[in-house]
Amino acid sequence: MKNSIRILLISLSFSMLLASCSDFLDVNTDPNNPSSVTVKELLPPAQAAIAYVVGNDLQIVGGIYSQYWTQNPAASQYRTLEDYNQTTSATNGIWLTLYTDVLQNLRVIEAKAKADDLKQYEAVSKILQAYTLHILTDCFGDIPLSEAFQADKNNFSPKYDSQQSVYNSILALIADAEKVIDADDPVHPGADDLIYGGDMHEWERFSNTLKLRVLMRLSEVDPTKAQTEIAKLEGAEFLDVNETAKIAYSTTGGSTNPIYSVIVGLGNTQNLVASRTIIDSFAATADPRLRVFYLPLPNGNFVGNLQGAYNIPPVANTISFPSPKVGARAGDENSAKAPVNLISSAESYFLQAEAISRGWLKSTLKAEEAYADGIYSSFLENGLTTAAADTTVLKSSPFPTTGTVQQKVRAIINQKWLAMCGTQGFEAWTEWRRTGYPTLKTSASSVLPTAVFPSRLIYPDREINRNLNFPGVKVVSEKLWWDKN
């Protein structure tokens, strides 16, 4: 498996190089003419490419905007992110990889799977297409979809579809996957599935959890639709403890964690350090996960830097570093082995807790039980015990059983934010955009007006310069369709 991932990542780097040299966006390549490559060969690089973006570009952006990390005063790589001064060149890689290396391959897999009656490959391809589109539209808002991949029609400037329309397409893809997924089908992916090894029971639960995530995103913009569709998930199975959808890595060159790979490429410079926001939050409840996600100073203390305060003179051993557990510690090879989480079991329980709290999901669990299970899952998957959770987090931050819906949502999202520390930065930032929780402070180096935060990623310059149907530049503070907070 380690050698396979190494080969896949080398192939990914090569394909990204080719994409960067093309004369027009490969988003328009025709998926209806698949080459002789098999679905078994196409699935792993598509999954690896998703994890590369989620575990690298979006982990860094989300980690900074969620205030897990901040720029090390002794370095400078991510100062523009801290300034909220995104550049159009910085988002090229996200766009190209997710369209060219992921959606392109997944559509070919779908076409070949249909032609060869490989229904479980078809199901996996559709679920992953839904996941990828979900990421893209939550990054940028409106994106090309209905006219994408139409090179055979000489359409090299696909129109942009509204985010609402894209969300409808995401839900349709999940529904289509549900029609063909069958855990008892003897023909299914195996070792070529880097996420679940071909376990279609796990894919069913992943699909249900993804659907719940997508629908919860509508909570502030279309609660009626969210409630109606979530009600249909009664009796569905969701990701349970130790069922986190993730891709594992190793210390072998070419198969290392994406952030660690970037750190090595930047000369092992420690650009990311602990943010004071998250350190203070963990410390307030004596949360033992603080020692999992961060390294103590020589005196045993944990100290975070004020978000965006990178202009202070750097002093050695005064700011805590991320631990190897999250892949972001320079010079520590253990960082190479950190997995990339796509959807965690903790997130699954927090999604259920919120849906139950809102009265949208009928479940055998009570909201307070799902809340506790989310915390337990986070503790267990990080080598801690449920007893430790009981005596720290659940003791100091019990579920507000008699509180208002909004008080319950705030408690749930605050705990989700803590559970996602360093491992699901983009999703944590996205949930902050949706709910306004937790309470964050604007960066000390922000170029935006007072109390204004980033609400999106800006479109890449390749689209701005090459797509004749590009709808116009968006500023970083312009909110997405579902962002009403």
Of 140, 127, 447, which Cα lies nearest the Cα of 308?
447
The CA distance from 210 to 123, in Å, is 14
What are 17-29's pLDDT values in tens digits? Answer: 333 333 223 344 4
Average pLDDT, integer, range 390-394: 98
pLDDT tier at 393, thresholds 50, 70, 90: very high
Which pLDDT does position 24 carry in this prediction? 27
pLDDT tier at 242, thresholds 50, 70, 90: very high
The CA distance from 304 to 276, in Å, is 4
Q: How buried is 311 (Cβ within 10 angstroms: 0-12 exposed, 13-18 middle, 19+ buried)?
A: exposed
- Furthest-apart CA pair in the chain: how many Å? 65
- Regarding pTM above 0.85, the answer is yes
- Which has the minimum average pLDDT: 51-55, 227-231, 249-253? 249-253
Which pLDDT does position 94 carry in this prediction? 98
The CA distance from 450 to 453, in Å, is 9
Of 194, 9, 213, which Cα lies nearest the Cα of 97?
9
Place of tokens 């699901």: 424
pLDDT tier at 348, thresholds 50, 70, 90: very high
What are 190-226's pLDDT values in tens digits? Answer: 999 999 999 999 999 999 999 999 999 999 999 999 9
pLDDT tier at 3, thresholds 50, 70, 90: very low
Average pLDDT, integer, range 367-379: 99
The CA distance from 316 to 113, in Å, is 55
Which pLDDT does position 253 carry in this prediction? 80
- Which has the minimum average pLDDT: 26-35, 62-71, 231-240, 386-395? 26-35
Give the CA distances from residue 273 to residues 118, 221, 319, in Å, rounded to whole numbers and listed in that order: 46, 35, 7
What is the dotted CATH code of the domain comprising 2-253+345-439?
A: 1.25.40.390
Average pLDDT, integer, range 233-258: 96
Which pLDDT does position 131 carry in this prediction? 99
Instruction: Give the amino acid at 396.
Output: S
What are 266-318's pLDDT values in tens digits? Answer: 999 999 999 999 999 999 999 999 999 999 999 999 999 999 999 998 898 99
Which pLDDT does position 36 carry in this prediction? 81
Which pLDDT does position 17 carry in this prediction? 32
Of 433, 385, 263, which Cα lies nearest the Cα of 334?
263
Q: How many other C-beta atoms can be found within 10 angstroms of the C-beta atom of residue 36?
A: 5
What are 66-117's pLDDT values in tens digits? Answer: 999 999 999 999 999 999 999 999 999 999 999 988 999 999 999 999 999 9
Given a cut of 90, is residue 128 above it in pLDDT? yes
Residues whose CB falls within 8 Å of the CB of residue 271, separated by 6 or more in sequence, listed in order: 71, 72, 75, 76, 77, 78, 263, 330
Mean pLDDT of the chain: 93
Q: Is residue 257 within 8 Å of 336, Cβ to Cβ?
A: yes
The CA distance from 99 to 297, in Å, is 42
Q: Is residue 5 within 8 Å of 194, Cβ to Cβ?
A: yes
Q: Is residue 146 within 8 Å of 159, Cβ to Cβ?
A: yes
Which pLDDT does position 35 carry in this prediction? 62
